[in-house]
Structure 1
Amino acid sequence: MNDRISIDHRIMGGVPCVAGTRIPVATVIGLLGQGYSVSEVVEEHPTLTKDDVLAALRFAARAVDERELPLKLSA
């Protein structure tokens, strides 16, 4: 696992967070998905660095890659 992302059941109930913060990976990815740039995410959450944001993005990409995603069958 990436040292910038932590999963600890005592912090945010075990939700993957940027290490040393209580900022969930999902929050970072959500902001990027809303169109925020990396620098805008850092501006919104000053405890984060550019490398933290990129680590969250890599973590999310790996998580999606490791799961079976449901396929919608056309009728």
Structure 2
Amino acid sequence: MGMYDRITLDPDQCGGRPCIRGLRIRVKDVLDLLAAGASREEILEDYPLLEADDIAAVLEFAARESDHVILRVA
């Protein structure tokens, strides 16, 4: 199961925001926890439905989403 299998977008769930495997756990929620200093182990304990590969998929998704081309107008 790769990132594209683990990150789901459903307009009828969580306002269409990216979630993990159709669960109501948003990518942003996991990123916020990591940014606040929570370890992967702590997140997995607090969210027993998550798997370690889900956290890796969140990070990969965030990295790809932040890689936007900047076009300069002359």
Work out whether the TM-score is over 0.5.
yes
The one-character-per-residue Cα deviations of 1:10-61 (angstroms, maximum 9, x if unpaired) are 1111000001310000000010001111111111111100001110111011
Confirm or deny that 1:47 pairs with 2:49. Answer: yes
How far, CA to CA, are the matches of 1:2 and 1:37 in structure 2? Answer: 23
Structure 2 length-normalised TM: 0.84
Letter in structure 1 aligned against 2:43: V
Structure 1 residue runs without a partner (length 5+): 69-75
Shift of 1:66: 2.6
Q: Any residues of structure 2 matched to 1:20-59 within 5 Å, and which?
A: 20-59=22-61
Number of matched pairs: 68
Letter in structure 2 aligned against 1:33: A
Residue equivalent to 1:8:
10
